[in-house]
Amino acid sequence: MTSKFLRSLLAIAVISMISAWAQTGSAAPAGSASSPASPAASSAAPVPSTTGGGSKLGTINIEQAVVGCNEGQRDFDALRKKLEPKQNELKAQNDELEALQKQFDTQKDKLNDDARATLVKQIESKKKAFDRAVQDAQEDAQNQQKEIFQRILQKMAPVIVKHAQDNGFAMIVDTSNPWPQSPILWYGESGDITRAVVDAYNAQSGVPAPASSTGAAAPKPAAPKPAAPKPTTPPANQPPK
C-alpha cells in the first residue's frame, strides 16, 4: 500500500499512538474511561512503550488491520476512486509522449534539421511536465493514504491495548514489515491478534462490511511512473538548443 518512506512514517505513528494508549490505560484509575489521544499528542515524539501484566507475547499486522477493517476498506476504496481522474490524466499524458516518441523514431531520417530539433524539444518539454505531474500525484496520494491510516489507527489503538490487557499479553509486536526490515525473524500464527482486533474494531465502529468485500486492498499510489520515452539526441551537426 505504501512506499518505504511512507511505511517509516506510519511506523512512528504506530509506536506513538499505541504506547500513549498503553500508558494512559495503565495510569487510569479502575473504572475510569480513557479519552482519545489528541491529534497533537499523536504527533509528538514516541513515548517509551510499557508492557502489560500478562505473560504472553503476541503479534499484530497493523497495516493489515487498518486497511482490512471495514472503515479502512471503505475509506481507501473511496480514495482509489477519487484518484482515478488523475491517473487517467497521467495515462493520457504518457500516451501522448509515446506517440511523439514513435513519430520521432519513424520520421527522424525524413525530417530536416529544424523539424527534427523542434520535435526533440517538444518531447523533452512534455516529458519534464509529465515527470513533475507523476511526482506530485504520488506525493498527494501518499499524504492522503497517511491521513486515513493515522485517523483509523488513532481510534484502533485503544482496542489493541484493551484486547492485549484482557487476554494476558505482556507485549504486542507489529509484523507489518518482514525481516530484515523489522527485527522479527519468525512468529507463529497462534499468537497473532490481527483478526480479533479487526473484529472488535468493526463492532465498535459500526461501519458495515463493504459489499462484495474480498479483503484488504489498499489503493496504489497515484499512477506508478509509466515508462517514459527514451532520451533523444539530435544528430551531431544539429545546432545546440
- Produce one character per residue of 75-102: b if its CB has 16 or more CB atoms within 10 Å, e if not: bbeebbeebeebbeebeebbeebeebbe
44 pLDDT above the threshold of 90: no
| C-alpha cell read off for 224 | 506508478
33 pLDDT above the threshold of 50: no
239 pLDDT above the threshold of 70: no
Q: In angstroms, what CA-CA distances link 151 with 17, 36, 137, 225?
A: 11, 11, 21, 28
Residue among 6, 17, 14 nearest 220 (CA): 6
Question: What confidence tens digit (pLDDT) does each residue in 120-155 have?
Answer: 999 999 999 999 999 999 999 999 999 999 999 999
**Rounded Cα gap, residues 36 and 42, in angstroms:** 10
Question: What confidence tens digit (pLDDT) does each residue in 180-209 have?
Answer: 888 888 888 889 999 999 999 999 999 999
217 pLDDT above the threshold of 50: no
What average pLDDT does this structure show over 1-22? 49
Q: What is the pLDDT of residue 184?
A: 86
Q: How far apart are the first and last CA of the chain?
A: 42
Residue among 147, 132, 174, 158 nearest 82 (CA): 147
- Write down the residue that cell numbers 459500526 correspond to: 206
Q: What is the pLDDT of residue 183?
A: 86
What average pLDDT does this structure show over 27-56? 45
The rounded mean pLDDT for the chain is: 77
- Write down the residue that cell numbers 482486533 correspond to: 197
What average pLDDT does this structure show over 82-110? 95
Query: So what's the architecture of 52-205 in CATH?
Result: 2-Layer Sandwich (3.30)
Q: What is the pLDDT of residue 1?
A: 44
**Rounded Cα gap, residues 106 and 109, in angstroms:** 8
What average pLDDT does this structure show over 146-171? 96
90 pLDDT above the threshold of 50: yes
Amino acid symbol at 86? K
pLDDT > 70 fraction of the chain, expressed in percent and rounded:
65
232 pLDDT above the threshold of 60: no
Residues 6+ apart with CB under 8 A from 50: 19, 22, 23, 26
Q: 0.85 cut: is pTM over it?
A: no
The string of DSSP codes covering 124-183 is: HHHHHHHHHHHHHHHHHHHHHHHHHHHHHHHHHHHHHHHHHHHTTEEEEEE-SSPTTTSS
| C-alpha cell read off for 79 | 480514495
Q: Which residue has the higher pLDDT, 229 or 148?
A: 148
